[in-house]
Structure 1
């Protein structure tokens, strides 16, 4: 990938979590290609969170430097306060600044709800939701301090949600709940951090990665020639733009990205409403609910249902 030192992220420093493989790696390379210096974070665990290795993060950082860019590897657990603090400190100690945080790290432990163990719930919610919150909190503290010192940043946060979090997904109660939580976290961050020059958005990607290969094996196979709609690199241009100053004014939004398609997702809005101005009886409430539902938009189908 050719590097553009005058690209839309020139002079910026970006942190990408879970950047050792798949989408995170594609984001890190694309950010570097647009001139960013990149902190490549990855714990190097397996698809289900097992094991760990510093190699994936180091290999991606080496890829970027071999192309003429600047990158440093960070092998730390961003779902711990110490690891998240170290991640932000690595950017500041190495490059003297932090402009963009791309939260991407995660893994799966899929199981039907009645078979889902507490440990499987905790592990997935921890890496996805807590693993978004802690780096965001430490980055936000830095940006707040910068603003109070008179150096208002043009900071960007790009969180990673999922169609599972927006619509639900059979067999993924833990993952879907965590990804839905990330959307709410993004909306709160956009509202609370705007005063510090921070914009926060979320992207729901669809691409061929270790996390999806078992679910969409046939449809996600790479074509022998032509446009590979499921390549992770297709999602990265949107992430790079959201991480750049060019995205000024875009915050508190959720996007789906797949192949050559970008969609603005529109979440919960006030729908049909009735106000009796007094206490409903259960029967009255039920009758009115059915009348309201008749005029409401139907929910999107849950992934894997029916």
Structure 2
């Protein structure tokens, strides 16, 4: 999910399907920030905010374990709908800043490119912060922003997850579209995947089984778009062993059919960012949509486990 231009930087780039004014407001309005800021499972309380040069933002992050994390931000540059520069401190105005943040909002018409850079005093602090971000699932913050913006625009609930891999674009497309590759990393941790048939092309389909030796799940995939080297769209549903559509074996209120969109973005010659988006596909009851929303943390864990396996496969 991150690219690094300097040994002292952690840089994150995202493109959101929303005009720059909406992205800016979502980032700077405390009422909107409260809807998405922080890793999945976290919430925040803003105590004060002065969005101006020399102003500050004082807030507390509340972890899913009940622990509170005081935060203090001092703004150095505020250029509406264009640029923010601020120091992020641990707990108070007197605390030494942990890092400097520079955020660029680039207007792409009905889309916005967000370029965020965190700059640290030493490479040791960079390494320590990377470990903290990974342990807390901190990068899911920017996925939550994508979900929030989508809901504001369309009133639809979606799930988004991003991750960057040390592999070129064409290699990553192969990892998603060659069965011998994706069957090795896509299943949940502890499961293996096999196909009774697969026709991986636009308009094609596949039937598969996932098993952990004691429990087997069956499913069907219908490929809506296979567009080398950077886009894949497919629907997915559970079936019984004979291929008849059924419900999630452990969650009867889970939506009958889901749509997956995979976007691959080159981040240089040897790195690719993967963006996965899940939508409820077709008609769904309010209970089914609620089940989808309630499971976002679990979906994050599931995709993280699969992505860890993909990372290991690429390294090997």
Settle same-fold status: TM greater than 0.5: no
Q: Decide which structure has greater strand share.
A: 2
Higher normalized helix content (fraction of residues): 1
Higher RCO, Cα 8 Å, sep 6+: 1
The two structures have a TM-score, normalised by structure 2, of: 0.28
